[in-house]
């Protein structure tokens, strides 16, 4: 299965982004409202400036207390963002996320972000693939 197939199966309403100049309080509110675990920081919605995960906010609170919530997203985000291509296999994305220990990957095409996948998306895809394989094998064995 390819990343492009996951992207197509998700709601086509664009990737949720936040300005690097927004505050961590704004970011926490957005993550809670949208029920997501990370948000891409971007000025224009397509060029990736960084990624901010709920873990980054928790780390800052643990270090400096709630005062950090008035700091900018740019102060806590990860700037060296790993992405994937729509033509990559889902297994490769899963390997990257596992090896690098993060759960989100922007999907990039010609330097622009066209989607974002989470480890949950990839695992759900993998489970339905396994289910299909199981049904096919059961059918072969039982002679359906």
Binding stretches for ligand AMP (CB under 6 A)? 37-38, 51-53, 55-56, 78, 81-82, 102-105
Query: Cβ closer to ligand AMP: 112 or 134?
Result: 112
Q: How far is the CB of 118 from ligand AMP (least distance, A)?
A: 8
User: Two tokens at 47?
Assistant: 């060029």
Q: How far is the CB of 90 from ligand AMP (least distance, A)?
A: 15
Q: How far is the CB of 82 from ligand AMP (least distance, A)?
A: 4
Query: Cβ closer to ligand AMP: 43 or 133?
Result: 43
Q: How far is the CB of 91 from ligand AMP (least distance, A)?
A: 17
Query: Cβ closer to ligand AMP: 81 or 122?
Result: 81
Q: Tell me the C-alpha to C-alpha distance, in Å, between residue 127 and each of 7, 90, 95.
A: 17, 12, 16
Residue 56's nearest CA partner among 34, 33, 81 is 81
User: By the 8 A CB rule, do 52 and 73 touch?
Assistant: yes
Helix ranges restricted to H, the chain: 3-9, 24-34, 54-64, 90-100, 119-142
Q: In the block, which residue shows the tokens 């990559």?
A: 88
Query: Cβ closer to ligand AMP: 31 or 125?
Result: 31
């Amino acid at each position: 299965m390819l990343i492009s197939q996951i992207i197509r199966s998700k709601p086509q309403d664009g990737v949720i982004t936040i300005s690097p100049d927004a505050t961590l309080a704004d970011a926490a509110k957005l993550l809670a409202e949208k029920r997501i675990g990370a948000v891409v920081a971007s000025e224009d919605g397509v060029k990736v400036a960084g990624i901010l995960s709920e873990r980054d906010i928790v780390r800052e609170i643990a270090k400096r207390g709630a005062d950090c919530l008035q700091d900018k997203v740019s102060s806590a985000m990860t700037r060296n963002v790993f992405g994937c291509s729509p033509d990559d296999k889902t297994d490769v994305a899963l390997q990257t996320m596992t090896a690098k220990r993060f759960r989100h990957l922007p999907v990039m095409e010609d330097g622009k972000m066209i989607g974002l996948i989470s480890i949950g998306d990839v695992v759900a895809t993998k489970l339905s693939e396994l289910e299909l394989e199981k049904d096919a094998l059961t059918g072969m064995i039982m002679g359906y």
